[in-house]
């Protein structure tokens, strides 16, 4: 199974931890939570979180079950969407994401079982 990643600001993730679920306004306005694949991370960060400190939240895909759907965006690229709030228990890994001046991406991982 292909990994599914939710990109969030550090503040958004802190709120999600306190609530026990990942929820965001797009769930109410569009009916789903936007996620991406590992290959789409850079593009997603530039489009939605330019200049912000973000974390990469990856999931145990099997725990998302039938709530996970892949849909095409306006550019014809296929993105994963989750049609519900995502329980924190579905989180597999949290990685602060950033890049250095030389463009080298740095990852720090926290693995959840």
- Give the pLDDT score at 33: 97
CB atoms within 10 A of CB 28: 8
- Give the pLDDT score at 17: 94
Token pair of 13 as six digits: 């993730």
Q: Return d(Cα 113, Cα 109) in angstroms, integer.
A: 13
The answer to whether residue 103 scores a pLDDT higher than 60 is no
Q: Return d(Cα 63, Cα 69) in angstroms, integer.
A: 13
Q: Provide the domain limits for residue 95.
A: 5-111
Q: Return d(Cα 76, Cα 74) in angstroms, integer.
A: 5
The pairing of strands 110-111 and 91-99 is antiparallel
In which band, very low, low, confident or very high, does the pLDDT at 28 lie, cut at 50, 70 and 90?
very high
The answer to whether residue 32 scores a pLDDT higher than 90 is yes
CATH number of residue 50's parent domain: 3.20.170.20
Q: Looking at the 3D structure of the chain, how many domains does it have?
A: 1
Digit-coded pLDDT (tens) for 44-90: 888 888 888 899 999 999 999 999 999 998 889 999 999 999 999 99
- Give the pLDDT score at 106: 43
């Amino acid at each position: 199974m292909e990994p599914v990643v939710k990109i969030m600001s550090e503040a958004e993730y802190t709120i999600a931890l306190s609530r026990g679920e990942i929820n965001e306004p797009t769930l109410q306005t569009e009916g789903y939570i936007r996620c991406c694949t590992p290959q789409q991370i850079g593009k997603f960060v530039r489009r939605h979180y330019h200049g912000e400190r973000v974390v990469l939240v990856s999931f145990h895909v099997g725990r998302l079950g039938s709530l996970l759907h892949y849909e095409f965006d306006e550019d014809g690229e296929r993105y994963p969407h989750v049609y519900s709030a995502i329980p924190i228990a579905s989180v597999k890994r949290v990685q602060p994401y950033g890049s250095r001046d030389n463009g080298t991406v740095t990852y720090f991982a926290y693995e959840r079982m």
